[in-house]
Structure 1
Amino acid sequence: MIAAPATTRDAESGAASPAPLRVVLVVTGASSAAYVPYWLNWMGAERPETRVRVLVSAQATRFVTPASLRSALVDDVTVDTWEAADDRPLHVELAEWADAMLVYPASQNYLAALAADAADRPSLLALQLTRAPIVIAPSVAPGGLESGGFRRSWAQVDERPGVALLPPVPGTSRHRTELTAWVPAPMPEAFARIDRLRAAATNNPADYGTRLLRTSIVPAAEGWTWTRRPGAEAPRPFTASDDPALGAVAAARLPGVVVGQPVGDLSERRYRVAGQRSVASLLLEAGPGVDLLRLIEQVGSTLAAVHEVALPETAVIAPSRGLTRLGHWLQAVEQPPLMLSARQELLVRNEVVATTAVDVLASLERQAELAPVVCHGAPGLGSAVPDAEGGALLLTGEDVHVGSRESDLMWVLGELLEFSFTRQDDARAWGRVIDAFLEGYGREPVVSLQLLAAARILLHLHDYTAYVGWSAPEFRRYGGMLRYLTDSEVTA
């Protein structure tokens, strides 16, 4: 489902008009740069809601002048060099300002620089920093499409999420008319691709999530269909559809458990439920009222039933995807630069938090060896949905594995305590919510409730930083929670 384009109201007529689309246009040193002024005129006539900021390479000024790139919809034209930026953080400014970035035309040299992650000019660094969709329209000389360098650059750039490469179209060489050059696709095609990328990334209100997990919720004939899939940067896929532990849960047909059906290439899970909202969203909105206690208690009893499923003979004990993410971060295993920096910040500001989490992970591993159970794997309250009778359904199947029951309890207890910190309601009311969950589950965790919650909250900090982005305020906010639970402090 794709939403209609955003609109604004004309001040005089009151008529709806498309909201401004902010485009950073990068013009590089291919001879077809000479035609960009024509396409700017096209934008003025066909896409007048567009606002453009132009970066023109020094090489492109052989074919087009900065003055010829100015128009009513162009806010500024800058030569694409650090000297011209005059010490301004132009790369950051443009990356944050843009709704989309368009390289038109992209010379073979520029595409190679982008593929190599070069940052020797503002546009290249802005393209690496932005979260906006990127469309690249290459322009190459005769024979260029068959060259090994171009093909390697194309393949490397084409695999990047949020980036679309437009195949060039036949043109005429400037030097020999009998030769076929390859020029950028027409500008309308570039804007059509921008529109599609933006619709897929941001304009679908039924699809939300992060680069770790995406969720789509759409109406069905009866109730709602939830479809969940790994995000673009999820380090591991969902539990395989033929996994023995998942098969055991599905065969048990437990009340309150909805096992997701694999769809597409089996990387997605689809659930049919009565509700559109999760228990997490209800708790965050309404707080710890008595009307939600039954839901929380039923989540506990459903989770207990999952843990009573007989272990398959071929089941293998292994940590969940979430515990693996946290463990790898704390041990600096295969971490990108941002997460290594975030880990160092954690260790410098308060090593006790990291040490505590490592101890908790070791305790969970010991419990898994001593008393393994079939685990949900990530029974967060975002996976719990009210049913038509006022109970709760637990969406199951993405993270099922064999481990310790405490590793599942960690998710719910950590989220409840995080919600209590976030809303700052009466602590006694949240205590009743936690009691309701444990009453439904039927037993206390072996590992300290506070330490389990701290590990879950630290995992949430990891996931926010890795799959949403670095935020010093969020680091401080999570640090306050961890200080309370571990008598330690994390500051940014």
Structure 2
Amino acid sequence: MTGTDPLAGMDPLTGAGPLTGAAVLVAEHGTGLQATRVYEEPDGGFLWWHGPGHRYAGPLRAPGRLVALVPGEEAVVGGALLSTGQTHGSGLLHRAAGSASAAAWLRDPRPQAGRLVAHSLTAAARALRALHGVPLPQGPAPAPPPGLRRLREWASGTVPLAPAAERLRRHALEVWGGARTARLLDWADDAERPTGVGASAVLLHGWASTGALVPPRSRGRVALLTGHDLGAGRRELDLGWMLGDLVELAWSSPLYRAAHDGAGAPGEGAGLPSAAVLQHVFLGVYGEGTGSTGSSGGGGDGDGCGRGDRAGGRGPVYDPAAVGRCAVLRVVTHMRDFATYCEWSDELLDYLAFTAELIDEEGRRAVPRGVS
């Protein structure tokens, strides 16, 4: 990023201090994990600042060794810009063409909002294909995304936990039992260290989600905010993370339930595409060119390990079963983070029942029919 820094003189930890440029704060939100501030520039563009929340120790930084590998602006035609931003204060500053995430647009029942989100998911799928195709650097293997580490530490109880997170873990052992917890940890191990003949890790976004996806307000490119969650592991982790985001939305949003399960009045939320439709759009674009991603793409060469071969015009090879399991990891990580960085809520007990179902079905509802 070049030019005058419009946030110079501001303390990103507290928000104190004057802006020296003409950028105007238009949105501010966050949790104890991450704070987000959005500024509008005079040219109509936007700056997104992601920094540590009040319960997160230390700054939010992107691993420089991996940032250097992220494909640039012209890497993928029709793909989202993988915006790695720049270090600013204790966080990262990104440029985008919109002021609201795809997650925010999914709360808008107008048909055009649903079309905008579908377009953004298409762009995200193409960007992730490019990211996953980048060879990993020589030398020590890159660490897995930090979200996966947080999940493993919480589920295994190997580190001290915040009171609400410890309470959640006790309830999880009661509701899930030891067997479900063990399955979850096995899936996390496999996501970090892919198994099977020819299995290999790829460069991962680490938190691919509708909250990190920024559609343009009018003109411009979709942005996928990328940086501090970069890591390495099996490609299905990024796919499952995005699809698990949509699974959670379909379960937790009253508007979605009213629009798609027959519980609402006719026409209520009618402009919202179902989570299954959005999942199909995303996964179909990611695997386009494979024919059938499950039979030929997910294990067409017999290993089912998601190597990402593109020979003969084929799309990336991935394992649909692993995608479903990684979707479960995403929902559980979000649940764990809420307990750690927010406060206890009895809604977490509902999440435990919901995630028990997801574990039992291995996240199959995250992988739509027709692409698996």
TM-score by length of 2: 0.69
| 383 and 254 in structure 1: CA distance in 2 versus 1, 3 angstrom threshold | farther
- For 1:433, the equivalent position in structure 2 comes to 278
- For 1:381, the equivalent position in structure 2 comes to 210
| 210 and 291 in structure 1: CA distance in 2 versus 1, 3 angstrom threshold | closer
What whole-Å deviation, never above 9, does each CA across 1:331-368 have from its counterpart, x for those lacking one? Answer: 11222351223211110122244233212102212318
* Aligned equivalents of 1:260, 1:364: Cα separation in 2: 23
Alignment of 1:63-78 (within 5 A): none
The structure richer in strand per residue is 1
What whole-Å deviation, never above 9, does each CA across 1:244-273 have from its counterpart, x for those lacking one? Answer: 2211116675342243333334x3111111
Q: Does 2:87 match 1:263?
A: yes
- For 1:220, the equivalent position in structure 2 comes to 41
| 308 and 281 in structure 1: CA distance in 2 versus 1, 3 angstrom threshold | same
* Aligned equivalents of 1:297, 1:239: Cα separation in 2: 27
- For 1:357, the equivalent position in structure 2 comes to 184
Given that residues 162 and 340 in structure 2 are in contact (C-alpha distance below 8 angstroms), is that contact kept between their aligned partners in structure 1?
no
Given that residues 250 and 259 in structure 1 are in contact (C-alpha distance below 8 angstroms), is that contact kept between their aligned partners in structure 2?
no
Higher RCO (Cα < 8 Å, 6 or more apart): 2
Given that residues 260 and 395 in structure 1 are in contact (C-alpha distance below 8 angstroms), is that contact kept between their aligned partners in structure 2?
yes
Q: Alpha-carbon deviation of 1:441?
A: 1.1
Given that residues 244 and 328 in structure 2 are in contact (C-alpha distance below 8 angstroms), is that contact kept between their aligned partners in structure 1?
yes
Letter in 1 for 2:32: R
- For 2:124, the equivalent position in structure 1 comes to 299
**Amino-acid identity (%):** 27
Alignment of 1:407-446 (within 5 A): 407-422=237-252, 423-424=256-257, 425-426=259-260, 429-442=274-287, 443=293, 445-446=318-319
* Aligned equivalents of 2:110, 2:130: Cα separation in 1: 27
- For 1:75, the equivalent position in structure 2 comes to none
| 274 and 458 in structure 1: CA distance in 2 versus 1, 3 angstrom threshold | same
- For 1:485, the equivalent position in structure 2 comes to 358
Given that residues 252 and 309 in structure 1 are in contact (C-alpha distance below 8 angstroms), is that contact kept between their aligned partners in structure 2?
no
Given that residues 356 and 451 in structure 1 are in contact (C-alpha distance below 8 angstroms), is that contact kept between their aligned partners in structure 2?
no
- For 1:327, the equivalent position in structure 2 comes to 152
What whole-Å deviation, never above 9, does each CA across 1:108-149 have from its counterpart, x for those lacking one? Answer: xxxxxxxxxxxxxxxxxxxxxxxxxxxxxxxxxxxxxxxxxx
What whole-Å deviation, never above 9, does each CA across 1:183-205 have from its counterpart, x for those lacking one? Answer: xxxxxxxxxxxxx8xxxxxxx87
Given that residues 236 and 321 in structure 1 are in contact (C-alpha distance below 8 angstroms), is that contact kept between their aligned partners in structure 2?
no
- For 1:272, the equivalent position in structure 2 comes to 95
How many residue pairs are counted as aligned between the two chains? Answer: 287
* Aligned equivalents of 1:236, 1:327: Cα separation in 2: 20
Instruction: State the secondary structure of the residue aligned to 2:354.
Output: helix
Q: Alpha-carbon deviation of 1:290?
A: 4.6
* Aligned equivalents of 1:251, 1:291: Cα separation in 2: 23
Given that residues 28 and 36 in structure 2 are in contact (C-alpha distance below 8 angstroms), is that contact kept between their aligned partners in structure 1?
yes
Given that residues 258 and 271 in structure 1 are in contact (C-alpha distance below 8 angstroms), is that contact kept between their aligned partners in structure 2?
no
Instruction: State the secondary structure of the residue aligned to 1:440.
Output: helix
Q: Alpha-carbon deviation of 1:235?
A: 5.4
The structure richer in helix per residue is 1
Instruction: State the secondary structure of the residue aligned to 1:227.
Output: strand
* Aligned equivalents of 2:205, 2:116: Cα separation in 1: 25
Q: Does 2:133 match 1:308?
A: yes
| 455 and 402 in structure 1: CA distance in 2 versus 1, 3 angstrom threshold | closer
Letter in 1 for 2:102: V
- For 2:69, the equivalent position in structure 1 comes to 248
Instruction: State the secondary structure of the residue aligned to 1:221.
Output: coil
Q: Alpha-carbon deviation of 1:316?
A: 2.0
* Aligned equivalents of 1:283, 1:373: Cα separation in 2: 30
Q: Alpha-carbon deviation of 1:315?
A: 5.7
Q: Alpha-carbon deviation of 1:370?
A: 2.7
* Aligned equivalents of 2:162, 2:215: Cα separation in 1: 40
* Aligned equivalents of 2:240, 2:56: Cα separation in 1: 21
* Aligned equivalents of 1:410, 1:348: Cα separation in 2: 26
* Aligned equivalents of 1:347, 1:236: Cα separation in 2: 31
- For 1:230, the equivalent position in structure 2 comes to 52
Letter in 2 for 1:227: W
Letter in 1 for 2:121: I
Alignment of 1:85-484 (within 5 A): 206-222=27-43, 223-234=45-56, 237-240=59-62, 243-249=64-70, 254-255=75-76, 256-265=80-89, 267-286=90-109, 289-290=114-115, 292-314=117-139, 316-338=141-163, 339-351=165-177, 352-367=179-194, 370-387=199-216, 388-389=218-219, 392-422=222-252, 423-424=256-257, 425-426=259-260, 429-442=274-287, 443=293, 445-446=318-319, 447-472=321-346, 474-484=347-357
> Runs of 5+ in structure 2 lacking a partner?
1-5, 7-12, 17-24, 262-272, 288-292, 299-317, 362-372
TM-score by length of 1: 0.53
Letter in 2 for 1:211: G
Superposition RMSD in Å: 3.0
Q: Alpha-carbon deviation of 1:383?
A: 0.8
* Aligned equivalents of 1:276, 1:434: Cα separation in 2: 24
Instruction: State the secondary structure of the residue aligned to 2:274.
Output: helix
* Aligned equivalents of 1:441, 1:320: Cα separation in 2: 20
Given that residues 238 and 399 in structure 1 are in contact (C-alpha distance below 8 angstroms), is that contact kept between their aligned partners in structure 2?
no
Q: Alpha-carbon deviation of 1:390?
A: 7.0
| 253 and 213 in structure 1: CA distance in 2 versus 1, 3 angstrom threshold | farther
Given that residues 245 and 402 in structure 1 are in contact (C-alpha distance below 8 angstroms), is that contact kept between their aligned partners in structure 2?
no
What whole-Å deviation, never above 9, does each CA across 1:80-108 have from its counterpart, x for those lacking one? Answer: xxxxxxxxxxxxxxxxxxxxxxxxxxxxx
Q: Alpha-carbon deviation of 1:217?
A: 0.4
